[in-house]
């Protein structure tokens, strides 16, 4: 059976031809108009990027290589005795469009475990961070520092041909993903005063090892949660802040460590990945103010007070989605199966019944429905991972899968330096003065 790299090497030449044919036939055709509002409005809906790994439909949500979350749950290999898909399989799917065999997935688990060790100086960087430094800042620093041993950067400086870019990007991406549990575990143990992370077990899968370095591998349900969590957080088409940042920085031929470090800095923003921390902060503040078993009326009043204070309701709304995020629904199904009576889960459900109507009534948000971040904190808290400042790190570990897959394909297809055009307001006024 082929390894992932061998399979990719088989697929790349045909895809290069496919892209050539598309460009020859359609290269001069237009998608439509670009409005001035799109230029001022964060480029919403602007067709500008290519990525085959996942596509986001506003109504239906994400599909990974054409498969919904439920279809991935059914089709991807599981751990022995487990029922959630292994992220190893999702990475294979993102890269090749194919479902791997259990042996191929097992081989990836082993390879990542074998590559997991951190250089000592990276451990020291993490150890020297003050506990008051946000875990995401520590995370991005450590990832950036891994560029010290980048196969791509070294080969580039020695003068490789463009045809060899993807192979080195693949090697770096495998190292990057492999080392994230040790980085995350070290930050967690340092910041929350629990000693040093337990060693990676080469006989176990990636998610088990992630749970292990955090100190939760004894709980099989938490390990299952990590498998689902990584899969659903891995990728969300190309235009979201973390995915697009990685692609942009990678287009300068910065290696995968530099590119993904930049992705993490974008993920650390409250409108993006930090929203999972913000949701828990918001729910806890609500409980402090109106108590734990508050009435619907009291919750409604709290939601309105958030909006009247000029703040967003974290975990609700989306730049593309216009329905409940299937990543939210997948987590809700997990909670109904594993923790139906959990009080925080019940509060998340109560909020779900209340917030959309209020956002609709307030009339600003284009999407009143919950996104992925509205749910994840309640699940993590249930299992004792209640340090909310750490939540976005887990999002970051997961997002590496999508960003890495994109970087590998971008280098394989020879994606050029990204360089869109910016305009001054004065130029826009002049351009449309008589139109
Ligand atoms: N609560 C209150 N107001 C909201 C809102 C929310 N949850 N979502 C959107 N709005 C407001 C928004 O701030 C904007 O107000 P102004 O006109 O005063 O600027 C207006 O509604 C129109 O915004 P939009 O077009 O509906 O949303 P955008 O595409 O500009 O932004 C989000 C999308 C996600 C940034 C926005 O919905 C938001 O701030 N949500 C809360 C934060 C959050 O949950 N982020 C996580 C998103 C997630 F899926 C992820 O990246 N992980």
For the stretch 351-387, pLDDT in tens is 999 999 999 999 999 999 999 999 999 999 999 999 9
Cα 269 to averaged position of ligand 1 atoms, centre (Å): 13
- What pLDDT was estimated at residue 66? 98
ipTM of the complex: 0.99
107: CB partners within 8 A, 6+ apart: 3
- Per the structure, how many domains does the chain have? 2
pLDDT digit string (tens) for 18-58? 999 999 999 999 999 999 999 999 999 999 999 999 999 99
Residues 210 and 239 in one domain: yes
For residue 192, give its domain range: 109-272+387-412
378 vs 23: CA distance, rounded Å: 46
What pLDDT shows up at residue 435?
Answer: 82
What residues in the chain have per-residue pLDDT under 70?
none
Cα–Cα distance measured from residue 350 to residue 332, given in angstroms and rounded to the nearest whole number: 12
How far apart are alpha carbons 203 and 373 in whole angstroms? 32
Residues 406 and 375 in one domain: no
Encode pLDDT of 129-145 as tens digits: 999 999 999 999 999 99
Q: Are 49 and 250 in contact (CB under 8 A)?
A: no
Pocket test for ligand 1, best of 365, 366, 377, 393 (most atoms within 8 A of CB): 365
56 bridge partner residues: 62
User: Is the residue at 375 inside a domain?
Assistant: yes
pTM above 0.90, yes or no: yes
Ligand 1 atom closest to Cα of residue 279: 44
Indicate if 261 and 343 belong to the same structural domain: no
Residue 34 burial by Cβ neighbours in a 10 Å radius (0-12, 13-18, 19+): middle
- Could you tell me if 151 and 260 lie in one domain? yes
- Per-residue confidence (pLDDT) for residue 371, from 0 to 100: 97
Nearest-CA residue for ligand 1 atom 30 is: 319
Alpha helix (H) residue ranges in 129-198? 135-145, 151-157, 165-191
Residue nearest to atom 44 of ligand 1 (CA): 315
Specify whether 272 is catalytic.
Answer: yes
CA distance to 99, 116, 134, per residue, from 145 (Å): 33, 15, 17
Shortest-distance atom of ligand 1 to CA 373: 52
Cβ-based neighbours of 177, under 8 Å, separated by 6 or more: 91, 112, 206, 400, 401, 404
**CB contact at 8 A, 77 and 69:** no
pLDDT recorded at residue 194? 84
Q: What's the gap in Å between 312 CA and the centre of ligand 1?
A: 7
Would you say the CB of residue 315 lies under 6 angstroms from ligand 1? yes
Burial of 140 (0-12, 13-18, 19+ CB in 10 A): buried
Atom 19 of ligand 1, nearest CA residue: 364
Query: Per the structure block, which two tokens stand in for 245?
Result: 């940042």
Residue 144: the pLDDT is 98
Asked if residue 280 and residue 234 are part of one domain, the reply reads no
Q: Is residue 178 part of a domain?
A: yes
CATH number, domain with residue 378: 1.10.230.10
Residue finishing a domain among 342, 366, 382: 382
3-class DSSP assignment, residue 434:
coil
Q: Are residues 406 and 376 in the same domain?
A: no
Q: Is the CB of 360 under 6 A from ligand 1?
A: no
Our answer to whether residue 134 is catalytic in this structure is no
Q: Which two tokens stand for residue 329?
A: 């629904």
Instruction: Quote the ligand 1 centre to 316 CA distance (angstroms).
Output: 7
């Amino acid at each position: 059976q082929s390894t992932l790299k061998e399979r990719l090497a088989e697929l790349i030449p045909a895809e290069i031809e496919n892209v050539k044919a598309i460009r020859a036939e359609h290269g001069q055709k237009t998608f439509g108009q670009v409005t001035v509002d799109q230029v001022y409005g964060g480029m919403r809906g602007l067709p500008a990027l290519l990525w085959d790994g996942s596509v986001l439909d506003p109504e239906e949500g994400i599909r990974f290589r054409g498969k919904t979350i439920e279809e991935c749950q059914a089709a991807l290999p599981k751990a022995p005795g487990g029922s959630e898909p292994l992220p190893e399989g999702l990475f294979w799917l993102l890269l090749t469009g194919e479902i791997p065999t259990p042996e191929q997935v097992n081989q990836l688990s082993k390879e990542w475990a074998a590559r997991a060790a951190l250089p000592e100086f990276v451990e020291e960087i993490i150890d020297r961070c003050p506990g008051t430094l946000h875990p995401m800042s520590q995370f991005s620093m450590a990832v950036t520092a891994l560029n010290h041993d980048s196969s791509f950067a070294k080969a580039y400086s020695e003068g490789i041909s463009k045809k060899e870019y993807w192979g080195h990007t693949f090697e770096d991406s495998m190292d990057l993903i492999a080392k994230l549990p040790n980085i995350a575990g070290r930050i967690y143990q340092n910041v929350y005063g629990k000693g040093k992370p337990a060693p990676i077990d080469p006989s176990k899968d990636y998610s088990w090892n992630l749970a292990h370095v955090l100190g939760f591998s004894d709980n099989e349900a938490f390990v299952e949660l990590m498998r689902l969590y990584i899969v659903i957080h891995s990728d969300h088409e190309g235009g979201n802040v973390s995915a697009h940042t990685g692609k942009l920085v990678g287009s300068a031929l910065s290696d995968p460590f530099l590119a993904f470090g930049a992705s993490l800095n974008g993920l650390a923003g409250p409108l993006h990945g930090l929203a999972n921390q913000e949701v828990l902060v918001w729910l806890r503040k609500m409980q402090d103010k109106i108590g734990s078993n508050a009435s619907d009326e009291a919750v409604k009043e709290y939601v309105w007070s958030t909006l009247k204070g000029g703040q967003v309701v974290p975990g609700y709304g989306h730049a593309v989605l216009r329905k409940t995020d299937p990543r939210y629904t997948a987590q809700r199904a997990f909670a109904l199966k594993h923790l139906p009576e959990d009080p925080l889960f019940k509060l998340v459900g109560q909020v779900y019944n209340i917030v959309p109507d209020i956002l609709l009534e307030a009339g600003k948000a284009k999407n009143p429905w919950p996104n992925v971040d509205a749910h994840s904190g309640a699940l993590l808290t249930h299992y004792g991972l209640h340090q909310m400042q750490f939540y976005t790190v887990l999002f970051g570990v997961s997002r590496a899968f999508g960003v890495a897959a994109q970087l590998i394909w971008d280098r394989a297809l020879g994606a050029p330096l990204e360089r869109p055009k910016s305009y001054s307001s004065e130029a826009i006024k002049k351009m449309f003065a008589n139109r």
